Structure 1
């Protein structure tokens, strides 16, 4: 179960593997670049267990580096190019990266963040190999060190081995019915396991073609779908919203898409319905950095049958819902989602206490609340750490946010807890106001829709919600806004 494209390059050398706005690579050409990258890194002294970081927008070099690291038994450390210099330096120092590969437009940012003991290389410069690179990597060798978003405290590095990525690919191929005949459009950033592993690496391992623009833009997305005719793509709610709200949405030619994958956070039902109205099923995918990430997912048929569900456990993953004591809860009741399978991370880099807390008896404790229905389908409820406990009652912000989305004059909104001397915490809505916004009307909107103790006690307006690069609301930043009034 080694992570490799060698057999694919032998079987279908002339098949198209990667296409960008400026170049096209067959599987033979992609494998040649992987071998050249591995040879260059080996000449730089990189070997088994060493960490090599990558900084850049979506680029073939990042995928080449991943497979080159797999060949050498080394680890790729993907870097979020939107991070500030101190944040990048922390990850480079914490990971102990020996080399940092950066694309040309990221060279200055990379140089500014570079620790003294890390050498900067240009990701696109690949000299011809002087000798075949060693093939020291195996299925059990770590290949990815991916740092979580760090919305609470410093980010942690999840260690994923080659076997985990291969089993994740098998999960994806089963979920999306992904074959060599597919053409996959990747618009989400490859520095996150979502963009990298939900469809992109599974597509390559299946012999499909990957379309790789450097970053997402609505106009570019519509043009790419119309011209290149992809069969699959992966989106997150903020990207879905940008497409649906765009003036070109109604006239866009999306007929080639048999489905889209969606995940990263709770996917609002109106967005799902907007794509379903265009004849495009929205297949939800649930997981985490620590699960590579595919753990629970919807088939195309299930997406149409149960919109809003996150689906069934993936082919090679077990899932359960447990109470605080670790006991499975009855059908329909909420509890923590826990996951088990060969796609799980080994733990966190140099963080034994965090590893012991999250990985227990072979199960990964997701920190997410969910429930399982009578058909075995899972439904996401909220993040455990975001649950508001008000007067002893649990309030799930996601439930309140679903009602908030329909409030008059609200472009978008989120809910978090604010300390309260009487109740411990109370919910507060943070909204981006639109035309005809009225705070009192927003508060009245909850009447008759939710129990009174779940109603927001106040509305805080902001020009934009604080979000991560993948569109998740940054909860700690949200709480700071609420505390500030």
Structure 2
């Protein structure tokens, strides 16, 4: 079995391959052009996997998006990707409004009664098919956005070659085989769920269990029914499963491995996971620009060291100072990478590319050091991104939303420690008219996805500044982050 949806459809590899070819031909018949982006706004499920691979098979560029985005966010992402089409679920959706504003045509995707992916436009099922040209390794397959220190996310094009290299690195690291069954608990619009779990498993002939969304109450029942051998998640999900383990009757031994990525895993949580679930816990390090994985702790008898992100997995890792020099073992500076999985550059952003690439190395923006064995320890971020449970949030993007409120004169967003998510989003504002925290948060909710909306908005009289008049985000964060948020 290639893919199964708990309580829903399931397909063999032969059926899955036929579906991908059929949908690719339907897309080509609908006028989808090779080399141009197609925005995909679908939930986790069989239809997402079919549509994603069919878009890539047709030679177009798959650009999956978080369905929780607002109309404003969808408008930016579709426009920045220069989308030729948006593939959406049935019914009303903010993405449909955005596509209409941009004049981007839409197609609806759903599963029919037989579990096949149906494409429709204006209520009419698409039937016209045309041969789709096969893409080459140098063609762009995937277009994602990553939050940066600028106010808007940066577009990251990844080629078929980038993805193939990353998928092989991941499958080799975890020794994936056709006997493996992966639980997909991360969103498929992220590289973690899409490349780190789904494509790496399929590339080795394994099986996927794809619930529509992560549900802690159903997780262990789905694991038992499917016989899943591994899963990968952000630390937040691991902590939720740990907290409910006894209540949910979780087994003390079931998985071949448990993987953690996208946010730092506390050593204490590492120990608790291994003790309670009886499987080696492997923390990895990934980012969108690297087609996900860059390093990982290893399966036994290899090393796995709590508090580290392991060794490079088919990726060269170095530590570079501000002048572009690689520092010696143990030296603390910026983590840099190079390899066949790394993007060739940001989309239409020469300034970001000039900043990101030095002497053939890609600068990650993370600080860390390598020990004598090549094990990488991360010590913090050089940039000011907020990492909320694996979701990377640009504080300047939140600043811009806050400043859009008519009563907000100054605003600074920042991250504070959080016991569940690693970091929480908070903000301080100076107001020029009557308003309150709830009104400001509600306004943000109209312009930002829910995970970007500040949990707290502090209304203050004046914004602290340096002697030169600059507002320093880290100093303001320190004022409100003495104790971890709950």
- Whether these two folds match at TM > 0.5 is yes
Cα separation, 1, equivalents of 2:230 and 2:283: 13
Kindly provide the CA deviation profile for residues 227-286 of structure 1, in whole angstroms up to 9, marking residues without a partner as x. 212111111011111111226467302633111111111111111111110212111111
* Among candidates 116, 123, 142, match of residue 109 of structure 2: 123
The answer as to whether partners of 2:79 and 2:102 remain within 8 angstroms in 1 is: no
Query: Cα distance, 1:226 vs. partner?
Result: 2.1
Q: Are positions 1:69 and 2:55 aligned together?
A: yes
Secondary structure in structure 2 of the residue aligned to 1:210: strand
Q: Which one is further off, 108-117 or 346-355?
A: 108-117
The answer as to whether partners of 2:184 and 2:231 remain within 8 angstroms in 1 is: yes
Matching residue of 1:29? 15
Kindly provide the CA deviation profile for residues 387-432 of structure 1, in whole angstroms up to 9, marking residues without a partner as x. 9xxxxxxxxx99xxxxxxxxxxxxxxxxx9xxxxxxxxxx996567
Query: Cα distance, 1:103 vs. partner?
Result: 2.1
Matching residue of 1:381? 379
Kindly provide the CA deviation profile for residues 207-236 of structure 1, in whole angstroms up to 9, marking residues without a partner as x. 110110011111121221122121111110
* Structure 2 gaps, min length 5: 111-117, 120-124, 388-394, 396-413, 421-440, 459-472, 481-486
* Among candidates 161, 164, 176, match of residue 162 of structure 2: 164
Matching residue of 2:29? 43
Q: Are positions 1:57 and 2:56 aligned together?
A: no
Cα separation, 2, equivalents of 1:256 and 1:27: 25
Q: How many residues align?
A: 402
Kindly provide the CA deviation profile for residues 91-130 of structure 1, in whole angstroms up to 9, marking residues without a partner as x. 011111111111236x423222213321111122246865
Aligned pairs (5 A) from 1:308-327: 308-315=307-314, 317-327=315-325
Matching residue of 1:218? 216
The answer as to whether partners of 1:264 and 1:472 remain within 8 angstroms in 2 is: no
Q: Are positions 1:109 and 2:94 aligned together?
A: yes
Matching residue of 1:19? 4
Kindly provide the CA deviation profile for residues 185-223 of structure 1, in whole angstroms up to 9, marking residues without a partner as x. 111001111111112101111111011001111112122
Runs of 4+ in 1 over 6 A off after TM superposition: 468-478
The answer as to whether partners of 2:415 and 2:477 remain within 8 angstroms in 1 is: yes
The answer as to whether partners of 2:324 and 2:359 remain within 8 angstroms in 1 is: no
Matching residue of 2:75? 89
Matching residue of 1:352? 350
CA gap 1:161/1:305 in 2 versus in 1, 3 angstroms: closer
Query: Cα distance, 1:475 vs. partner?
Result: 12
TM-score, normalised on structure 2?
0.75
Cα separation, 1, equivalents of 2:313 and 2:181: 22
Secondary structure in structure 1 of the residue aligned to 2:102: coil
* Structure 1 gaps, min length 5: 1-15, 388-396, 399-415, 417-426, 434-462
CA gap 1:348/1:89 in 2 versus in 1, 3 angstroms: same
The answer as to whether partners of 1:368 and 1:380 remain within 8 angstroms in 2 is: yes
CA gap 1:305/1:259 in 2 versus in 1, 3 angstroms: same
The answer as to whether partners of 2:26 and 2:129 remain within 8 angstroms in 1 is: no
The answer as to whether partners of 2:29 and 2:128 remain within 8 angstroms in 1 is: no
Matching residue of 1:282? 281
Matching residue of 2:186? 188
CA gap 1:383/1:213 in 2 versus in 1, 3 angstroms: same
Kindly provide the CA deviation profile for residues 304-359 of structure 1, in whole angstroms up to 9, marking residues without a partner as x. 642222111112x1111111112222222211111101101121111121122112
Q: Which one is further off, 246-255 or 53-62?
A: 246-255
